[in-house]
Amino acid sequence: MTSQRPRGRFAPSPTGPLHFGSLVAALGSWLFARAAGGDWLVRIEDLDPPREVPGAAAGQLATLAAFGLLPDEPPAFQSTRGALYAQALATLLARGDALECHCSRTDLAAAGGIHRACVPGRRRRTPAVRLRVPDVRLGFDDRIQGHYEQDLGRDVGDVVLRRADGCWAYQLAVVVDDAAQGITDVVRGADLLDSTPRQILLQQRLGLPTPAYAHLPLVRDAEGRKLGKSLAALPVDAADPLPALRAAWAFLGQPPSAWPEGAPGLALVRAVAAFDARRVPREANAPVQPG
Ligand code: GLU
């Protein structure tokens, strides 16, 4: 048996500057990887040009560097990896595990957006491509959230792999890239917990390994809103990393007194020994106060 060196990753979408929620995902994935003696990579998920903010990827990478969160390999950009996604899609289509879909959003509205079969007779010039999803219950054991399962046919339906506008879908790209980059440990926000069973199904269809998953508690503000929509979504200050790093450490359930002395890079290296993954809570203990 070969033992694989652990590899984690942080995979931001370049839709704006890094905010506290993204810092928690970056630091959490970094700590899990380093505590296991593994590598940590950064992948920019720039697959959706309309949602992308020019300069955001460079800004995110500069902020990570200012925080001492330096990847072990040059960052990967999904916009340059289309050939890999095309190959995976061709495999799925050839095996009958994917289908061309001509349905419109209106066609799907009646079923709550869940696709089980195409509406007969529809034709689009450029169809979407979907993964055929059977009526299975698929579960996995999350290192933080515990056992999670989903009725994929009923609750998810056939998953879009390539959109009708030609863009690659996140679900396909994340599965292909996690495997191609040898990721063994996926650590990310709990908003993606319910995407995981469909990603595992896709791994099975493509004959790819399933990594271990750990979904971090979601950052919410005092009103209980997800960070993205709130005041607390203000960018973290790259000129003054320590307060945000300490706050992210505490948010991950680690005792504030265990945060080591030193400048960000040095404190982080020392923090690896103090990090206890078992302390990471399933849900945030306290809301994040803006400002
Ligand atoms: N790009 C996704 C996001 O920013 C994260 C995807 C992942 O970690 O799997 O929410």
The amino acid sitting at 57 is: A
> Can you give the pLDDT at residue 230?
58
Show the ligand 1 pocket: residues with CB < 6 angstroms: 11-13, 45, 174, 188, 192
> Can you give the pLDDT at residue 221?
72
Question: Is 93 in the same domain as 145?
Answer: yes
- How much distance in Å is there from the Cα of 240 to the middle of ligand 1? 25
> Can you give the pLDDT at residue 235?
86
> CA-CA distance, 159 to 206, in Å (whole number)?
14
Max intra-chain CA distance, the chain: 66
Domain limits for position 48: 7-79+217-279
Number of domains comprising the chain:
2
Residue ID of nearest Cα to ligand 1 atom 6: 11
> Can you give the pLDDT at residue 105?
87
Asked if residue 288 belongs to a domain, the reply is no
Q: Are 5 and 41 in contact (CB under 8 A)?
A: no
Q: Are 170 and 45 in contact (CB under 8 A)?
A: yes
> CA-CA distance, 169 to 264, in Å (whole number)?
35
Query: Structure tokens of 280?
Result: 């990471």
Q: Backbone phi, then psi, for 148, in 5-degree steps?
A: -135, 130
> Can you give the pLDDT at residue 228?
57
Return the closest-CA partner of residue 115 out of 68, 156, 176, 61. 156
Asked if residue 189 belongs to a domain, the reply is no
Q: Are 158 and 53 in contact (CB under 8 A)?
A: no
Asked if residue 177 belongs to a domain, the reply is no
| 75 SS3 class | coil
Asked if residue 14 belongs to a domain, the reply is yes
Indicate which atom in ligand 1 lies nearest the CA of residue 25: 8
> Can you give the pLDDT at residue 2?
55
Give the CB-side neighbour count of residue 123, counting CA atoms within 13 A. Answer: 2
Return the closest-CA partner of residue 48 out of 213, 139, 173. 173
Question: Is 66 in the same domain as 101?
Answer: no
The amino acid sitting at 172 is: L
According to DSSP, residue 227 is labeled G
> CA-CA distance, 190 to 203, in Å (whole number)?
20
Q: Which of 118, 138, 162 is the last residue of a domain?
A: 162
Asked if residue 59 belongs to a domain, the reply is yes
Prediction pTM value: 0.94
Q: What is the DSSP pairing of strand 128-131 with strand 39-44?
A: unpaired
CATH number assigned to the domain comprising residue 62: 3.40.50.620
The amino acid sitting at 16 is: G
Q: Backbone phi, then psi, for 129, in 5-degree steps?
A: -120, 130
Q: How many Cβ atoms from other residues are within 10 Å of residue 173's Cβ?
A: 24
> Can you give the pLDDT at residue 291?
45
Q: Are 38 and 184 in contact (CB under 8 A)?
A: yes
CATH number assigned to the domain comprising residue 143: 3.90.800.10
> CA-CA distance, 197 to 144, in Å (whole number)?
16
- How much distance in Å is there from the Cα of 45 to the middle of ligand 1? 7
- How much distance in Å is there from the Cα of 18 to the middle of ligand 1? 13
Indicate which atom in ligand 1 lies nearest the CA of residue 178: 9
Return the closest-CA partner of residue 192 out of 182, 184, 200. 200
Question: Is 253 in the same domain as 232?
Answer: yes
Indicate which atom in ligand 1 lies nearest the CA of residue 191: 10
Asked if residue 181 belongs to a domain, the reply is no
pLDDT values of the chain reduced to their tens digit, one per residue, 291 residues: 456 899 999 999 999 999 999 999 999 999 999 999 999 999 999 999 999 999 999 999 999 999 999 999 999 999 999 999 999 999 999 999 999 999 988 888 888 999 999 988 888 889 999 999 999 999 999 999 999 999 999 999 999 999 999 999 999 999 999 999 999 999 999 999 999 999 999 999 999 999 999 999 998 876 767 665 555 567 899 999 999 999 999 999 999 999 999 988 899 999 999 999 999 999 987 666 544
Q: Are 201 and 138 in contact (CB under 8 A)?
A: yes
Asked if residue 95 belongs to a domain, the reply is yes
| 180 SS3 class | helix
Query: Structure tokens of 111?
Result: 């079923």
